[in-house]
Amino acid sequence: MKELVVISGKGGTGKTSLTASFAALAPNAAFADGDVDAADLHLLLAPAVRRREEFRSGHAAVLRADDCVGCGRCAALCRFEAIAPATRPGDGARVFAVDPGACEGCGVCVWNCPVRAIDFPERVCGEWFVSATRFGSLVHARLHPGAENSGKLVSLVREQAREIAKQERRDLVIVDGPPGTGCPVIAALTGASGVLVVTEPTVSGAHDLARVLELTGHFKIPTAVCINKWDLNPEQADGIEAAARAAGATPVGRVRYDKAATRAQRLGQTVVEAGPDSLADEIRAVWKNWIGTVAP
């Protein structure tokens, strides 16, 4: 079984739209939405949820204001600017409060509170789903607003998609990866059979591609590059392909700038379904070339 991951470095290059089209083109695959921060693939694949699970990760400090003596040791020790003075509602006493959005879950305040007024429950960070779509099974997730450790959730989503692919005897898993080069991207890449970077011919696209290729090179994953909206700046597109080759990646095609991609999105369809054929053919070519580089 192969696992192919689509990433972009820079956001908004059309990664999810292309991934959805690939889903329509792959005859025997399962899918994972690894962009758990801003998961959008489901908007095009219209999943029917079959299974729903809570995602828990790490712990969070919760201060019981009633038991707080206001000594401030917790705030002094916290290195994440997560604890600030507060006023206790009942008697107006000066106490302290934890900002859940800033809490790193390290436990320093919990272990060092002289009156043990801080609890440390497990943190529910989101939920994940296994769904049926018109192209095959999809594993997707929703991270709670401001929640941490999306890297672990990305790993979990990929793992579940591989598991389902195995059960359903699929030969392929396609993963819509997150943007950036940080923790969630690393979690989306490790151990993958191949990665496609969807970029655009802009100075930002070129800049971010260089950083992403450093990352895929570091993990020694066969890397292909596709330039979306290439005709916005054909010269830049040439330059990006040359830079990609120099970094050991394989250019696998270009897709033009076309408002039809937005129209398809508004219809809740992939471009290969909604057309026009001329644009869909460009995406088909990218898919064929990419598959050719990873599954000889």
Partner 1 sequence: MARSPAIAIASGKGGTGKTTVAVHLAATLLFRKQAVQYLDCDVEEPNGHLFLKPTIESSASVGIPVPVVDAARCIACGKCAEVCEFNAIAMLKKPLVFPELCHGCGACALVCPVGAIRETPRAIGVVETGRAGSIRFAQGRLNVGEPLAPPLIRAVKTRREPAAVALYDSPPGTSCPVVATVRGADFVVLVTEPTPFGLHDLALAVATLRPMGRPLGVVVNRADDDRRVQDYCQAENLPVLAELPDDRRVAETYARGELIFDRLPDWRGRFETLWARIEERT
Partner 2 sequence: MKVVLTSSAKTLADPIDMHFGRAKVFILADTETGRAVAHDNAQNLHAAQGAGIQSAETVARLGAEAVVTGSVGPKAYKALQAAGIRIALIEAVCPGTEALRRFKDGELPVLDQPNGESHWV
Query: How many angstroms separate the CA atoms of 94 and 109, rounded?
Result: 17
Stretch that binds partner 1, among 161-169, 212-220, 242-250, 284-292 (CB under 8 A): 212-220
Candidates 24-32, 64-72, 133-141, 228-236: pick the segment binding partner 1 (CB under 8 A): 228-236
Q: In the window 66-85, what residues touch partner 1 (CB under 8 A)?
A: 77, 79-81
The least distance separating partner 2 from the CB of residue 123, rounded to whole angstroms, comes to: 10
**Residue 11 near partner 2 by CB under 8 A:** no
Residues 12-71 that bind partner 2 (CB under 8 A): 56-58
| Residue number with CB closer to partner 2 (58 or 222) | 58
CB neighbour burial string for 63-79, b if at least 16 within 10 angstroms, e if fewer: bebeebeeeebbbeebe
Instruction: Work out what residue 9 binds among partner 2, partner 1, none; the CB cut-off runs from 5 to 8 Å by kind.
Output: partner 1
Site string for partner 1, 107-146 (x = CB under 8 A): xx--xx------------------------------x-xx
Task: Report the residue from 28, 190, 262, 278 that binds partner 2 according to the rule CB under 8 A.
Answer: 190
Q: Which of 131, 155, 228, 265 binds partner 2 (CB under 8 A)?
A: 155
202 binds, among partner 2, partner 1, none (CB under 5 to 8 A by kind): partner 1
Q: What angle do CA 29, 30, 36 make, to 5 degrees?
A: 140
Q: What is the DSSP string of the chain?
A: -EEEEEE-SSSSSSHHHHHHHHHHH-SSEEEEE--TTS--HHHHH--EEEEEEEEEEEE--EE-GGG-----HHHHH-SSS-EEEEE-TTT--EEEEE-TTT-----HHHHH-TT--EE-PEEEEEEEEEEEETTEEEEEEEEPTT-S-HHHHHHHHHHHHHHHHHHTT-SEEEEE--SSSSHHHHHHHTT-SEEEEEE-SSHHHHHHHHHHHHHHHHTT--EEEEEETGGG-HHHHHHHHHHHHHTT-EEEEEE---THHHHHHHHT--HHHH--HHHHHHHHHHHHHHHHHH--
Question: Could you say whether residue 186 binds partner 2 (CB under 8 A)?
Answer: yes
Q: Contact between 223 and partner 2 (CB under 8 A)?
A: no
| Least distance CB 73 / partner 2 (angstroms) | 26
Binding status of residue 100 toward partner 2 by CB under 8 A: no
Number of residues that this document lists for the chain: 296
Size of the site for partner 1 (CB under 8 A): 61
User: Which x/- pattern over 125-154 shows residues binding partner 2 (rule: CB under 8 A)?
Assistant: ------------------------x-xx--
Residue partners of 218: CB distance under 8 A and separation at least 6: none
| Interaction site with partner 2 (CB under 8 A) | 56-58, 149, 151-152, 155, 183, 186-187, 190-191
| Interaction site with partner 1 (CB under 8 A) | 8-13, 16, 37-38, 40, 43, 58-59, 77, 79-81, 101-102, 104-108, 111-112, 143, 145-148, 150-151, 178-184, 186, 200-204, 207-208, 211, 214-215, 218, 229, 232-233, 236, 257, 262, 265-266, 268
